[in-house]
Amino acid sequence: MQVSRMEAKKQTCLFSFGLIADIQYADADNRPNFRQNCVRYYRNSLELLKEAVRHWSGDSCASKPSFVMQLGDIIDGFNKRGGKKQSFQALNVVINEFDKAGCDTHHILGNHEFYNFTRAEIASSRLLSGINFETTEVDTTCSCISELIPTTAEVPPAAYYHFSPCPGFRCVVLDTYDVSTLGHDESCSIHQDSMNLLRSVNKNECLNSPDGLQGIDRRFVEYNGGMGESQLRWLEGVLQKASNDQEKVIIFGHAPFHPTIEVDCCLWNYKDILQLLHSFSCVVAVFSGHVHFFSHFVDEKGIHVVTMPGIIEIAPGSNGFGTVEVYQDKLVLHGNGEVKSCVMSFP
């Protein structure tokens, strides 16, 4: 559905934000993806990001974003073949482009972040954008980074956090790899418990393969993850307070929470988070990446569920980013390329 800006502007736009996902940049030639069913355009992904940034910072964007949500997988795991130096070089190249957008960028953690970096390395990098916002304690069951938290820090680093861009709205950034084998040292209990969970369901030698798994069990692959009990309790508290304060909540994460999108990319404990989101009427929309295609639907509780396409798999000549205008009673998504424009009215 194409959205007329004149029609959208009849009401006051409270704020807007940019959306982009799965850039997966690497200074490498094009090659097939893991499943061998499409091409990944490594260098072109940076060009598409540059085009998005020019749009957000230029006159063609009617509503200049208050912030940009980078929905995860900012660089590709292919970079790790060149060692940490190559991974950090690629990361700096992409982050330097986001700096030109003229607004804050929120970096969500995906599986490719953890192919390149440990949680300890991310904790001291610009990928941990939540350090500047309302956040929470690091899960004490994770031994990977707790010892790295400065004793003088006012706010310990966390990959999940929340903030209010304007009165009446709250944005919540989630860590969908809180529970995962990725990013955690093998000695960490989170890594060990995650590996035990995977191997109890997935009997393949390659744990990134869903071969032989049936139905919803296909989500138990190593490139997915889950949310731990501490994060779920934290999220419940955030939603309860937002509900009490009559705020509308917009959720962001890398892996999707709804199995109807694509089972192979679904959060391991999706039932837990869906039950939690459906317990509060304040949640109006959920945005994620990971699946590499655009989709939008309204779930059984009236929550708008949106996945963004993977920039890495968009050929030259198109694009796949969006700008969301937020109104009192709706979100208006203005899409570019493979992202379709739509109006997301609140229940």
The pLDDT, as a whole number, for residue 152 is: 43
Residue 48 neighbours by CB under 8 Å, 6+ apart: 23, 311, 314, 319, 320, 321
pLDDT tens-digit map of 233-291: 999 999 999 999 999 999 999 999 998 889 999 999 999 999 999 999 999 999 999 99
Tell me which H or E stretch contains 172: strand 169-173
What is the reported pLDDT for 63?
Answer: 82
Q: What letter represents residue 245's amino acid?
A: D
Task: Name 305's bridge partners.
Answer: 286, 297
pLDDT in tens, 129-173: 887 777 777 666 777 765 555 444 444 467 899 999 999 999 999
Per DSSP, 167 falls in state T
- Residue pLDDT, tens place only, 31-84: 988 778 899 999 999 999 999 999 999 877 668 999 999 999 999 999 999 999
Give the pLDDT mean for 110-133.
Answer: 88
Burial-class residue 300 by CB neighbours within 10 Å (0-12, 13-18, 19+): exposed
Q: Is 290 left (phi over 0), alpha (psi -120 to 50) or beta?
A: left
Predicted pLDDT of residue 59: 76
9 has a pLDDT exceeding 60: no
Domain locations in the chain? 5-345
| 222/156 Cα distance (integer angstroms) | 28
Helices of type H across 76-209: 83-98, 111-116, 119-123, 189-201
Q: Which residue has the tokens 């049936």?
A: 214
> What homologous superfamily does CATH list for 5-345?
Metallo-dependent phosphatases (3.60.21.10)
Distance CA 269, CA 228 (A): 9
Distance CA 86, CA 56 (A): 28
pLDDT of 292 strictly over 80: yes
User: In whole numbers, what is the pLDDT of the chain averaged over residues?
Assistant: 91
